[in-house]
């Protein structure tokens, strides 16, 4: 699903990309597997594409906040992934 969401976003099919990334996120939540790198990528794609389409919605902010918390816990506050997500989050609040 991650590859499909990324591919759809890259060819400009944003609505479809958000839908696929949302399914990926839902599946990860049901499996309680949000810590995996693949699911973190799904969360990032969902948040970014959703922001591009709809602006800062409550759901996309929640997903991005959740992603930031996961990355901070797993990698620490100074890791490159954490800083990238924090930068995106702060610029889109």
> Domain total for the chain?
1
- Which residues does 28 contact at the CB level (< 8 Å), separation at least 6? 34, 36, 39, 42
Average pLDDT, the chain: 86
pLDDT tens track for 20-42: 888 888 888 888 887 888 888 88
End-to-end CA distance of the chain: 27
Q: What is the pLDDT of residues 72-92, one digit of tens each?
A: 999 999 999 889 989 988 886
Specify the higher pLDDT residue, 2 or 60: 60
- Domain of 7, CATH number, reads 1.25.40.10
**φ/ψ of residue 44, rounded to 5:** -65, -45
Check residue 61 and give its pLDDT: 87
What range defines the domain where residue 49 resides?
A: 2-91
């Amino acid at each position: 699903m991650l590859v499909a969401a990324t591919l759809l976003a890259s060819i400009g099919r944003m609505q479809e990309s958000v839908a696929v990334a949302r399914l990926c996120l839902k599946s990860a939540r049901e499996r309680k597997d949000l810590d995996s790198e693949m699911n973190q990528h799904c969360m990032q794609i969902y948040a970014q594409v959703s922001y591009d389409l709809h602006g800062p919605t409550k759901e996309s902010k929640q997903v991005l906040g959740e992603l930031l918390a996961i990355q901070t816990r797993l990698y620490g506050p100074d890791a490159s992934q954490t800083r990238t997500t924090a930068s995106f989050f702060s610029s889109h609040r």
